[in-house]
Amino acid sequence: METIKLNDGYDMPLLGLGTFLLKPNDAEEAVYSAFKNGYRLIDTANAYSNERAVGRGIKRSGVPREEIFLESKLWPTVYTKESAVDEMLNRLGVEYVDLLLLRQPAGDYVTGYKMMEKAVKEGKVKSIGVSNFEGEPLQKILEICEIKPSVIQVETHPYYTQDELKKVLDKYDIKIQAWYPLGHGDKSLIDEPIFTKLAQKYNKSNAQIILRWHIQQGHIVIPGSKNSEHIKDNANIFDFVLTDEEMKEIAKINKNKRYYVPNPEIVAKYAQMELNDSLDV
């Protein structure tokens, strides 16, 4: 599995398994399947209500902890909770996570970020970053941080390439981790003629071509699935390379189109919801 070096010196796999919307039993099986197929990056969050299941999948796999890159995210309602990181580690059944993100730019995210910095100093977290922080919230973090974010998780795909955001991130060597990497499954994106043509050339699926595009863009991708065959296929993208001309062709289909347009008021209201820990079994 190819890796990318973060601005804090750690190496992070470019491809991993996302567990968003996976119920606990499905998440455990998906994690186990991912490890059997060479994955080493697993993404979860306390809001996904499957951290315990992810931890079980890790243990079942038998893969040494030091070979695994484990990532989770904190929900806004725990940004000021001193025990939040310890509780997360307890749910996952590990002594540390490799990457911890703030889930949304809501609530007291400045305190939340400083809490993550404290966790780094205590050896409970290796790298930190943010999710869905763009514009003013991202600039605020960059102004107050002692430890720079190493990763930002945002919507990114060939219809929405985040060119403007990258101009900011490049100054700090912050890496993009793409969610909705396949455009939320939009058939019009996946079936773009350029992807169909390249899929035929390289004997791959259109989705595999898009994931390969992400890798060559330097994006970290975490496609989610509970289907073992899909998990296997998503990882089968490291035996070919798109040419510079092909990458330029793909760049032409950018529509600056995002599938999720955040509404600050709705985000703030949604982020005030308390998590139901009993769902994480």
Q: Which residues are catalytic?
A: 48
Strand-pairing partners, residue 101, are: 73, 129
Q: Please provide the DSSP assignment of 212-242 as one string.
A: HHHHHHT-EE--B-S-HHHHHHHT--SS---
* Sequence letter at residue 128: I
Query: In this structure, are residues 5 and 144 in contact, taking their beta carbons and an 8 Å threshold?
Result: no
Q: How far apart are CA 117 and CA 80, in angstroms?
A: 13
Degrees, nearest 5: CA angle 48-264-224: 30
Query: In this structure, are residues 47 and 103 in contact, taking their beta carbons and an 8 Å threshold?
Result: yes
- Return all residues near 137 (Cβ < 8 A) that are at least 6 apart: 105, 109, 130
Query: In this structure, are residues 98 and 66 in contact, taking their beta carbons and an 8 Å threshold?
Result: no
Q: How far apart are CA 262 and CA 182, in angstroms?
A: 19
* Rg of the chain (C-alpha set): 18
Q: How far apart are CA 212 and CA 129, in angstroms?
A: 24
